[in-house]
């Protein structure tokens, strides 16, 4: 079986209405190209701004205008939508960096709150955000199983592996990957590595706002590029196939060959390793 997935690469600013108009335009294009799922970047609702800009005033609840509009667009275009937003918390200064999944009937099917906050490369997301509790988001479209992660989660291989162990055929990753020395190379390399080591499809929809990488891409289970974008706004549609996954896993059974018994001992600590 196959599923057509669209990756939308957009610019995001402070104008929430304008950001939603861009979402609407790409959703219509994805529907016209027979996509079943469209993935938008992290923080598609409102931009990150400068590092010290407060995000809480722009945050919304899951019943707010952003999710309501996503539901309307999903139902209108008959496709699933995954997009990032800033969600209110009970702390007046902190927000959740949340992915929202809406199905093709407009029903909110789940959320994922980013658990690895980007306190790296001189940046501190934890000053403005609260981490998620590790509740992951997975879903099935036309018999294909998907997992979802957010941006910095990509640097932690345990996250994609967990989805693979739970039966995912693909992981989709909304990102707002900051540009910088070697950063574009890191993004591409890590996405490709997660695909190869888990023999699964891995796709990223990135922001192309000034200061971000762009380079949205979909890799197949052997790490081959299916579709990709450069640095400009745009949309690509790639086909994922369960037959391709089965073929690759027959040739490269790394998941089947994993030594989970030993890994479990490692996690117990040094004493377990001496047994």
Active site residues: 42, 114, 151
Q: Which two tokens stand for residue 131?
A: 């981490």
Q: Which of 74, 70, 72 is nearest to 100 (CA)?
A: 70
Look at phi and psi of residue 217 and say left if phi exceeds 0, alpha if psi is from -120 to 50, else beta: beta
β-sheet with 2-9: strand ranges across: 108-113, 95-102, 80-88, 37-39, 2-9, 234-241
The vertex-105 CA angle with 133 and 18, nearest 5°, equals 75
- Measured CA to CA in angstroms, residue 254 lies from 64, 121, 163, 199 at distances of 43, 32, 15, 8
Check: CB of residue 233 under 8 Å from CB of residue 35.
Answer: no
Which letter does DSSP use for residue 212 in this model? Answer: B
Check: CB of residue 173 under 8 Å from CB of residue 151.
Answer: yes
Check: CB of residue 112 under 8 Å from CB of residue 132.
Answer: yes
How many Å separate Cα 218 from the centre of its chain? 12
Residue 95 CA neighbour count, 13 Å, CB half: 23
């Amino acid at each position: 079986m196959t599923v057509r997935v669209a990756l939308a690469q957009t610019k995001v600013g402070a104008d929430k209405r304008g950001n939603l108009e861009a979402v609407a335009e790409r959703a219509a294009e994805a529907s016209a190209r027979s996509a079943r799922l469209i993935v938008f970047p992290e923080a598609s609702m409102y931009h990150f701004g400068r590092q010290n800009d407060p995000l809480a005033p722009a945050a919304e609840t899951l019943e707010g205008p952003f999710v309501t509009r996503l539901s309307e667009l999903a139902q209108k275009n008959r496709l699933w939508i995954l997009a990032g937003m800033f969600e209110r918390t009970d702390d007046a200064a902190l927000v959740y960096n949340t992915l929202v999944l809406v199905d093709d009937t407009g029903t909110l099917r789940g959320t994922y709150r980013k658990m690895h906050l980007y306190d790296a490369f001189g940046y501190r997301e934890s000053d403005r955000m609260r981490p998620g509790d590790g509740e992951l988001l997975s879903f099935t479209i036309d018999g294909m199983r998907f997992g979802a992660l957010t941006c910095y989660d990509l640097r932690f291989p345990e996250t994609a592996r967990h989805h693979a162990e739970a039966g995912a055929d693909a992981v989709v990753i909304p990102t707002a990957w900051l540009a910088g020395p070697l950063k574009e190379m890191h993004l591409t390399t890590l996405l490709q590595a997660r695909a190869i080591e888990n023999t699964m499809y891995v796709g990223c929809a990135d922001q192309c706002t000034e200061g971000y990488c762009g380079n949205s891409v979909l890799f197949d289970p052997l790490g081959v590029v299916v579709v990709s974008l450069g640095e400009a706004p745009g949309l690509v549609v790639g086909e994922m196939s369960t037959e391709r996954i089965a073929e690759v896993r027959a040739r490269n059974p790394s998941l089947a060959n994993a030594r989970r018994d030993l890994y479990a001992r490692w996690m117990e600590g040094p004493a377990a390793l001496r047994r």
